[in-house]
């Protein structure tokens, strides 16, 4: 999480003339591309980012997804200019804004930042909070811009209220309005929905996405929640231990994960061993996929829980249900199978497996099978 407030400038650094003309258009930014070019960062000899190359295209919503401590917030801090990377370059619309020989100050980048805790000033009215980033405009113009930004998030009627009088969802929208008012060419958002309760999240996410699209700013959103990244991102960059694991659309990362880590981030998985035999990958559940690798090659076979079907087909292997849990729309079933060290978990539509049933036939949906050849030494 970012712990310090940075004031975004009113004008994008690289297109100030265009941006000034854009003021006549209601609340629209000139989107820029933002490129991390082989960016590394070390603190006290510890590598936090390890050569990340990644570009957000103009107007794109790019999600940075990864577990806690993977380096997502550090990437935002570097993009905002709060932190200066120790290696590589940062380019805005192809122009270097941070690198070995150049460092553009945060307030001159035209990059906005929205914080996890919204960082609203408690002693200022909502209007003053939103107006805060508009120092380049005179009083009347700044007020008009701020009110128009508040109208965009549907909260102009509470301009004179104070932050403590608002709900979490309203505070989030005020923070969004404040971040967008200077019309940044790129908006960085650090876990912008994590403080909201789950019922509110859905609505606020949808609204935020719509406002981002209307503003046309390029957005980079940090999250550790794969589903959130899939809902929001045009593309998703998966980060682990300071390195980029994979970047692509939600469908690409879900359907063709680069490795087991990526697969496990997007789906709950059963992991079983497999071995190549006569062009097929054979497991205790039978053959699960084709392979061109030679006989004896070892695989880790990842089965999504949704792809483990019970009693659906006449042929399969026999198993015994050893536990079941009702999860609303689905039942989570645990099934012991001969030859497998750990029982399989299955997600079935609630009620589709009769409650008193214990012995079942297990089959696998090939769409939910992802196989990874084991590196030698993995055995």
Ligand X SMILES: Nc1ncnc2c1ncn2[C@@H]1O[C@H](COP(=O)(O)OP(=O)(O)OP(=O)(O)O)[C@@H](O)[C@H]1O
DSSP string, 142-197: HHHHHHHHHHHTT-GGGTTS-GGGS-HHHHHHHHHHHHHTT--SEEEEESTTTTS-
**Smallest gap, in angstroms, from Cβ of residue 225 to ligand X?**
10
Structure token pair of residue 37: 């070019």
DSSP string, 287-319: EEEE--SPTT-EEEEEEEGGGEEESSSSSSEEE
Beta bridge partners of residue 114, listed in sequence order: 189
Q: Which is nearer to ligand X, 75 or 134 (CB)?
A: 75
CB contact at 8 A, 224 and 68: yes
The helix (run of H) or strand (run of E) holding residue 8 is: none
CB contact at 8 A, 190 and 1: yes
Tell which positions 319-358 bind ligand X, by CB under 6 A.
none
**Smallest gap, in angstroms, from Cβ of residue 58 to ligand X?**
25
Tell which positions 200-239 bind ligand X, by CB under 6 A.
224
Q: Which is nearer to ligand X, 74 or 129 (CB)?
A: 74
Rg (CA), the chain: 25
Determine the residue with CB nearest ligand X.
Answer: 73
**Smallest gap, in angstroms, from Cβ of residue 43 to ligand X?**
4
Residues in binding contact with ligand X, number by CB under 6 A:
12
Tell which positions 273-292 bind ligand X, by CB under 6 A.
none
**Smallest gap, in angstroms, from Cβ of residue 181 to ligand X?**
26
Q: Which is nearer to ligand X, 74 or 171 (CB)?
A: 74
- Binding of ligand X by 192 (CB under 6 A): no
Residue 354 class from Cβ within 10 Å (0-12 exposed, 13-18 middle, 19+ buried)? exposed
Tell which positions 123-162 bind ligand X, by CB under 6 A.
none
The helix (run of H) or strand (run of E) holding residue 252 is: helix 250-255
User: CB count, 10 Å around CB of 277?
Assistant: 14
Q: Which is nearer to ligand X, 75 or 130 (CB)?
A: 75
**Smallest gap, in angstroms, from Cβ of residue 187 to ligand X?**
17
**Smallest gap, in angstroms, from Cβ of residue 105 to ligand X?**
19
Chain-centroid distance of CA 354 in Å reads 38
**Smallest gap, in angstroms, from Cβ of residue 120 to ligand X?**
20
Say how far apart CA 72 and CA 63 lie, in whole Å: 10
- Give the SS3 label for residue 364: strand
Q: Which is nearer to ligand X, 66 or 110 (CB)?
A: 66
Q: Which is nearer to ligand X, 49 or 126 (CB)?
A: 49
- Give the SS3 label for residue 24: coil
Longest Cα–Cα distance in the chain: 77
What's the distance, Cα to Cα, between the start and end of the chain in Å? 38
Tell which positions 28-87 bind ligand X, by CB under 6 A.
43, 48, 66, 68-74
Q: Which is nearer to ligand X, 12 or 71 (CB)?
A: 71
Angstrom distances, CA of residue 374 to CA of 186, 275, 344: 41, 10, 20
**Smallest gap, in angstroms, from Cβ of residue 70 to ligand X?**
4
Q: Which is nearer to ligand X, 265 or 299 (CB)?
A: 265
**Smallest gap, in angstroms, from Cβ of residue 271 to ligand X?**
25
Strand 34-43, strand 87-92: pairing: antiparallel
**Smallest gap, in angstroms, from Cβ of residue 210 to ligand X?**
26
Q: Which is nearer to ligand X, 134 or 189 (CB)?
A: 189
Q: Which is nearer to ligand X, 43 or 203 (CB)?
A: 43
Residue 50 class from Cβ within 10 Å (0-12 exposed, 13-18 middle, 19+ buried)? middle
Residues that bind ligand X (CB under 6 A): 1, 43, 48, 66, 68-74, 224
């Amino acid at each position: 999480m970012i712990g310090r407030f940075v004031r975004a400038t009113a004008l994008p650094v690289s297109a100030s003339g265009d941006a000034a003309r854009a003021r006549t258009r209601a609340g629209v930014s000139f989107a820029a591309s933002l490129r991390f070019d082989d960016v590394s960062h070390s603190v006290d000899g510890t590598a936090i980012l390890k050569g990340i190359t990644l570009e957000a295209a103009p107007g794109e919503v790019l999600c940075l997804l990864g577990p806690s401590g993977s380096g997502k917030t550090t990437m935002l801090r570097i993009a905002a200019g709060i932190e200066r990377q120790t290696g590589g370059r940062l380019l805005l619309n192809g122009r270097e804004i941070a690198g070995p020989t150049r460092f553009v100050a945060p307030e001159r980048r035209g990059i906005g930042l929205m914080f996890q805790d919204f960082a609203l000033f408690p002693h200022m009215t909502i209007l003053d909070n939103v107006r805060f980033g508009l120092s380049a405009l005179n009083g009347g113009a700044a007020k008009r811009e701020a009110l128009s930004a508040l109208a965009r998030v549907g909260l102009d009627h509470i301009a004179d209220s104070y932050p403590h009088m608002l709900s979490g969802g309203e505070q989030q929208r005020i923070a969004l309005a404040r971040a967008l008012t200077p019309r940044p060419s790129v908006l960085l958002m650090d876990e912008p929905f994590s403080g909201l309760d789950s019922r509110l999240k859905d609505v606020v996410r949808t609204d935020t996405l719509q406002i981002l699209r209307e503003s046309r700013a390029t957005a980079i959103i940090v999250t550790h929640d794969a589903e959130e990244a899939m809902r929001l991102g045009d593309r998703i960059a998966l980060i682990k231990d300071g390195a980029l694991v994979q970047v692509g659309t939600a469908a690409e990362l879900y359907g063709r994960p680069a490795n087991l880590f990526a697969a496990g981030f997007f789906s709950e998985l059963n992991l079983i061993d497999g071995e190549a035999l006569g062009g097929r990958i054979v497991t205790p559940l039978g053959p699960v996929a084709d392979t061109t690798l030679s006989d004896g090659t070892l695989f880790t076979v990842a089965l999504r829980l949704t792809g483990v079907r019970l009693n659906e087909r006449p042929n399969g292997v026999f198993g015994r249900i050893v536990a079941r849990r009702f999860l609303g729309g689905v039942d989570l079933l645990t099934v012991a199978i001969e030859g497998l060290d750990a029982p399989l978990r299955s997600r079935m539509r609630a009620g589709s497996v009769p409650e008193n049933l214990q012995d079942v036939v297990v089959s696998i949906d090939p769409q939910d099978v992802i196989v990874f050849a084991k590196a030698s030494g993995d055995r």
